[in-house]
Structure 1
């Protein structure tokens, strides 16, 4: 069974769980503006004209689309009915809504969850104009809770793709550890990983992030051609790939011994032990029913109690069809994270656990693991 068939079937179950009568996805020209939920709805996500994908809690799945988009959707055998139009979608859309007479209609807008915010403002205005004078205009609700569940609850096939993506990421990290040497620049490490990715017919899930030594710039900055590995440096590499459309996101680190050292110095070992202790604390807390902020809080406390500066990002995010997959976030209760950190952890979700501390004269000590909630 394809992932799209699995996810559309799963959608019906979640609609019933949340007592939502209809989920309506309204899109156009998806080669330009791509609603994130289309990955779970269509094998071929290319739609040219205004299109409506409708899934009901009674299990019916319907697509209304322009005439020349219909054939591929019909061929997938996923949808019970594919309705094509030439001049206007309005008549067919209203007819379908009148058939169901839903008490609520979930559409893809969200204040906090980008993965549930695929309805553009222009399409929102078009939808409202079509629904003027009908009872349905007051029945539109956000799909954010629904999509948090649909994207978060990975099927076994989705999880297998994530595991394979993680395996390839580990191989890329291993290549860096075995190949990188004194004098190699951040940019050369990045190029090494991009070449490895190409050799394996994959694509990266984000540009590789390379941080070497104390003068590097932590975060999402581009690898520098001028910062080169030297003795006493911490080397942090953040690298992930897509496998069959599913992402991994891993960080690994190395330390370059100085001439007088047989093992890393105390301050480096202490930083590494603190990072691992914090990640393990987060992993231990990551149980079904726990809110996202609670997982972040226990890991953050380990770092602060050890005397390090608080890290200015969430402990973890979901991975899946995107490297930042929306829904429940393992982060602090900061305004920018909104509702996402209040969601409860669920079985089948895949998260990152990541944080860093700075070690004076050596650089950033950072590790990131990918984990599945069981």
Structure 2
């Protein structure tokens, strides 16, 4: 439990509620080791068992939770704490009435998974507990609290990205022509275990390793393929350090690159740079994606079948505004505006006969543009035999 960070984020949440059309934000959850509530680490910092409500208004906040969880909440020193034994009903109603909160923002959203932590059952329960209140989506509040990172969060993300890049360099240094995809993944996993790092997505798929042109590109498990002479090694990887994640892709060639590989890499970089050139506060997510696609079209290249970028924070895919095309599967996530303090990936690749030319960078949005979180890959790296 990080009391200082929770305090930062609760202050941010109060400001977000004040800027919203809601009177209070209610995070309602239970048994959170079984059913995760994505906002809870920001506003409370620990898991709960009994039904729990964190109620955040523009100027104050209260947490109502089971008596056995209450001491940990009191140690935070952030919220007024109201423990209960038999029922949350009276304390919750009294808190909402005292805040004079008629319009309540709840964690449900059609398109943003990190703003959709309220289960249908708990929604029905809350409707019974607070029958005379209006419920609206808290997606805008969640986007502010989760998306706009504090300086503490930026430092942690940068540390995770630095660590990820260091481990990738270490893996490349240990590579031999006999190294399989699975052995490279095992090397990274062993280093992560030794240091106590978590993976930024499912352990089995992190890293994702593609060796040569015969590898099937995507979220695949590492196999027994090695990198043939003149072909590519592509790795998608990220670690979690101190609860914050990284997400990077890097690519190497074994020996001299064959005709067209350098040009493919340069075209990928050009499309990423084109997207980054328009990534600034106020731009709508799908416009950033469209600019990268236009660059590929101008270079007579095939287009990628995913979003150009997503936010990174406590998880590799951190919700909020998405830098993606206006496809049905992305819903309204691509209609959001970019804000200073958010962290995005910029990622795309070209599938060639010699392997996947995939790149993924992380950028921090500033007041007038972006800055790379870690040093970008600007040329095709070589594997030393």
Instruction: Normalising by structure 1, report the TM-score.
Output: 0.94
Give the corresponding residue for 2:190: 195
SS in 1 for 2:319: coil
> In structure 1, what is the Cα distance between the partners aligned to 2:99 and 2:179?
63
> In structure 1, what is the Cα distance between the partners aligned to 2:244 and 2:238?
10
**Which stretch shows the higher mean deviation, 197-206 or 6-15?**
197-206
Deviation of 1:203 (Å): 1.5
Is structure 2 residue 146 aligned with structure 1 residue 144?
no
Give the corresponding residue for 1:18: 20
Structure 1: which 5+ residue stretches go unaligned?
258-262
Structure 1 runs of 4+ with >4 Å offset:
none
Give the corresponding residue for 1:67: 67
Check whether the contact 1:267–1:359 (CA below 8 A) recurs between aligned residues: no
Give the corresponding residue for 2:219: 220
> In structure 1, what is the Cα distance between the partners aligned to 2:63 and 2:20?
22
Give the corresponding residue for 1:295: 288
Check whether the contact 1:183–1:230 (CA below 8 A) recurs between aligned residues: no
> In structure 2, what is the Cα distance between the partners aligned to 1:172 and 1:41?
32
Give the corresponding residue for 1:366: 358
Deviation of 1:265 (Å): 2.5
Deviation of 1:266 (Å): 2.9
> Size of the alignment, in residue pairs?
360
Give the corresponding residue for 2:330: 337
Deviation of 1:204 (Å): 1.6
> In structure 2, what is the Cα distance between the partners aligned to 1:115 and 1:158?
17
> In structure 1, what is the Cα distance between the partners aligned to 2:78 and 2:291?
44
> In structure 2, what is the Cα distance between the partners aligned to 1:220 and 1:140?
38
Check whether the contact 2:231–2:257 (CA below 8 A) recurs between aligned residues: no
Deviations 1:91-137 (A, max 9, x none): 111111222222410000010000000001111111112223xx21x
> In structure 2, what is the Cα distance between the partners aligned to 1:85 and 1:149?
30
SS in 1 for 2:260: helix
Give the corresponding residue for 2:241: 243
Give the corresponding residue for 1:101: 100
SS in 1 for 2:281: coil
> In structure 1, what is the Cα distance between the partners aligned to 2:348 and 2:232?
15
> In structure 2, what is the Cα distance between the partners aligned to 1:299 and 1:24?
39
SS in 2 for 1:181: coil
SS in 1 for 2:69: helix
Structure 2: which 5+ residue stretches go unaligned?
367-385
Give the corresponding residue for 2:116: 117
Check whether the contact 2:32–2:47 (CA below 8 A) recurs between aligned residues: yes
Give the corresponding residue for 2:10: 8
Check whether the contact 1:356–1:364 (CA below 8 A) recurs between aligned residues: yes
Deviation of 1:283 (Å): 1.1
Deviation of 1:289 (Å): 0.2
Root mean square deviation of aligned Cα: 1.1
Check whether the contact 1:353–1:369 (CA below 8 A) recurs between aligned residues: yes
Check whether the contact 1:354–1:366 (CA below 8 A) recurs between aligned residues: yes
Give the corresponding residue for 2:257: 264
Is structure 2 residue 184 aligned with structure 1 residue 183?
no
SS in 1 for 2:82: strand
Give the corresponding residue for 1:54: 55
> In structure 2, what is the Cα distance between the partners aligned to 1:101 and 1:46?
28
> In structure 1, what is the Cα distance between the partners aligned to 2:84 and 2:18?
30
Give the corresponding residue for 1:27: 29
> In structure 2, what is the Cα distance between the partners aligned to 1:197 and 1:66?
36
SS in 2 for 1:329: coil
Match of 1:306 among 285, 299, 313: 299
> In structure 2, what is the Cα distance between the partners aligned to 1:314 and 1:47?
35
